[in-house]
Homo-oligomer: A and B are copies of this chain.
Amino acid sequence: MPKVGMEPVRREQLIKATIESVAELGLQGTTINSISKKAGLSSGIISHYFGGKQGLIEATVRYLLSNLKVELMAKAGPNTSPEQRLMYIVEANFALVQQRKDTTRTWLSFWAQSMHDPELHRLQNVNSNRLYSNLASSFRQLMSVENAKRAAQLSAAMIDGLWLRAVLSQSDTDQFKHSEELAKDYVRSLISQYGA
């Protein structure tokens, strides 16, 4: 069976199986067996490539965060207007849903766990701060520093809140799309409210 250069393939295979398992069974219900079974591999392979279950969990979070980052950078270029850039930020934060429905549930599970896991908490903070910074620097081009900070704080909360309620109510893709529109409207209203 063994071919060379399997490592990147297996790593991705196992990370995707982890996302599926956590979405389906929760972080509590996810075991080394549930993951390896989904991946069609043996349980031992997890320790071999990730050192253990914890290592795979953390690699999965990094994978999700990195996808979010890529999503945003792919859309916005250097000539994007501040308004358009803000819309892209909102879109990027709702985009993962469309790609993979199960991603949203997985994300929330990791959020909850981050309160009790220092490394997960660190990763989650990086992401949270990036959302805030991205918003703040775009708003800054349209309003004062103080107002930009406030607008960034409020729209970050609105994005997370709409997203959270959509996940928890087990909404379909259409409802996520609706939430995305509400978030965009809100960002626009902040611009016209504080905008110079």
Contact = CB atoms under 8 A, between A and B. Distances in A.
B161 A162 contact: yes
Given A26-B116, A112-B26, A112-B112, A160 B164 contact: yes
A168 B116 contact: no
A157 B165 contact: yes
Contacts of A182: 153-154, 157
B116 A108 contact: no
A165 B158 CA distance: 10
Interface in A5-36: 25-29
Interface residues of A, number: 38
Interface in A42-80: none
A22 to B, nearest CB: 9
A114 B108 CA distance: 11
- Name the 10 nearest CB pairs between A and B, nearest first: A161-B161, A157-B161, A112-B112, A26-B116, A160-B161, A157-B162, A109-B112, A108-B112, A105-B115, A160-B164
